[in-house]
Amino acid sequence: MNSIQKNRLKDRLFMYWGMFSTLIGLVLLVVFIGDILIDGLGIIDWSFITNLPSRKAEKAGIYTALMGSIWILFLTAFIAIPVGVAAGVYLEEYSKKNWLSGILEINISNLAGVPSIIYGLLGLEVFVRIMNLGASVLAGSLTLSLLILPIIIVATREAIKAVPKSIQDASYALGASKWQTIWHQILPASGGGILTGVILALSRAVGETAPLIVVGALAYVPFAPDNPMDEFSVLPIQIFNWISRPQHGFIENAAAAIIILLGITFIMNGIAVYFRNKWQKKWK
């Protein structure tokens, strides 16, 4: 067997190994989703969505947890998106390239991989205790904003880097200022990538449990939050609470809540892919 044949054999082995690994992942995903659908699909109806928590599985619903998740999602987006996008634009377009900015960039990239429980501890000390916000929706939203800020900043910078330099040069050649170039050319051209990063970051926030438990989110809340200072629960914590109970009815409720949470996540990811493709077609 000559060297060419050996290389071809290695290519085939690598291809088969990749196919096998992909198949294993897909099979496990199908089994997981199938098991969840079998247990929870029959539970989902309007009363399950609108009912308040209950100690009886057949009367329990996800209304308070769902409303808590919606409050957390919108407040987190309201706080994190403007700050994250603005920070990404500044670091990419205005910040001087020196050793200090290099250290800052490395730290931001590393923060995106910090375990979420660390952000929960930070939120507990700063927002709950020092700022005296208590175990409120606002404290949870601020904590999750810290969690997803590095993701949004990195996504914004990468999206801006992908914009052809010719667009920026053409804008300057026509007499536009730096801000006009950023606002009218760079941000619209990079909007698809930025939006994709933002939605993926919010998708992570929707499924987070550990930092909210540390901040003080409750497993049982008898009412839905009406303002940012109310106590709250979220879907992942409600799922954890139901799974930890021995009654089979609560296990089915948890499966139904998982289906709804997966549906929210899939919808958000689908919106991200749609707008990314739409932006790419627009700027081709």
What does pTM read for this prediction?
Answer: 0.86
Given this model, what pLDDT does residue 182 score? Answer: 87
Looking at every residue in the chain, the average pLDDT score rounds to 86
88 vs 106: CA distance, rounded Å: 13
Roughly what angle, to the nearest 10 degrees, separates helices 235-243 and 248-282?
150
203 pLDDT more than 80: yes
Domain map (residue ranges) of the chain: 3-40, 47-282
99 pLDDT more than 90: no
164 vs 188: CA distance, rounded Å: 12
Given this model, what pLDDT does residue 174 score? Answer: 82
- In terms of pLDDT, which residue wins out, 264 or 101? 264
> Which pLDDT band holds residue 80 (cuts at 50, 70, 90)?
very high
Given this model, what pLDDT does residue 1 score? Answer: 63
How many degrees, rounded to 5, is the angle at CA 164 between CA 160 and CA 170?
110
pLDDT digits 0-9 by tens, 220-271:
777 888 888 888 889 998 998 888 888 888 888 999 999 999 888 888 888 8
Helix (H/G/I), strand (E/B), else coil: 136: coil
105 C-beta neighbours (distance < 10 Å), count? 17
User: What fold does the segment set 47-282 form as a domain?
Assistant: MetI-like fold (1.10.3720)
- Residue 94, CB-side half-sphere exposure with 13 Å CA sphere: 10
Given this model, what pLDDT does residue 283 score? Answer: 62
